[in-house]
Amino acid sequence: PLGLGHAVWCARDIVGNEPFAVVLPDELVLNTPGCLKQMIEMASSLGEKSNLVAVEAVPDHLTHQYGICGVGKRSGKMFEVDGMVEKPAKGTAPSNLSITGRYILQPEIFKILQTQERGAGGEIQLTDAMIGLATSQKFYGVEFEGERHDCGSKPGFLRANIAYGLKRPELRDGLIAEMKKYLGQ
Ligand code: G1P
């Protein structure tokens, strides 16, 4: 209840002393292989104690709704993260690459979360703890393949239902027929 950073910290005893993934369930990525699978494959090409965050470009007027990454050295679909900021004020974002709800993190994040102060929105932010960890460990951004659905907004939730429904052979035709009725076609 105190924020995403607090929620992750609550899982410290279950995770123990090994790298782990964070999956925010209000974000879906429609793709095979899935977003996390793509990240795990990329992680295997990196050194130990690397952290990864999935990112996606968003329009400039939406950057204040997300965690945003600065972009350092690039290598294909991956780049070294050069600074992060949680929900930057309009016009101050270092890029338009928003953190999507998939992370691979090292267990040292828990020590930082233990004393993490409240940040944007008065919440204990995972992004702020990642900024702390980035002083001693590498962070990489991954521009994943797939369609992101942010179900944290009502239109996003509705769009996800339609997108996933259209991918299901047993639902597709019926769904299209219903939508046509509403669209008056
Ligand atoms: C959280 C994270 C943010 C990230 C977003 C993705 O924010 O704090 O960095 O970009 O998820 O959905 P929330 O949506 O909980 O405000």
Which atom of ligand 1 is closest in space to residue 26's alpha carbon?
12
Residue 130's pLDDT band (boundaries 50, 70, 90)? very high
Section 18-22 average pLDDT? 97
Q: Angle at CA 61, nearest 5°, toward 55 and 67? A: 35
Share of the chain above pLDDT 90, in %: 96
Residue 161's pLDDT band (boundaries 50, 70, 90)? very high
Residue 184 pLDDT: 87
Q: Per CATH, is 4-150 categorized as 4.10.1240.10? A: no
pLDDT in tens, 67-122: 999 999 999 999 999 999 999 999 999 999 999 999 999 999 999 999 999 999 99
Range(s) for CATH 3.90.550.10 in the chain? 4-150
CA 9 to chain centre: 17
Instruction: Show Cβ contacts of residue 148 under 8 Å, excluding neighbours closer than 6 positions.
Output: 27, 28, 29, 56, 100
Probe residue for ligand 1, chosen from 4, 23, 116, 123 as the CB with the greatest number of ligand atoms within 8 Å: 4
Distance 153 CA to ligand 1 centre (A): 12
Q: Please give the residue that has the higher pLDDT: either 140 or 153.
A: 140
- Rounded to the nearest 10 degrees, how much is the dihedral formed by the CA atoms of 28, 34, 36, 40? -170
Distance 126 CA to ligand 1 centre (A): 9
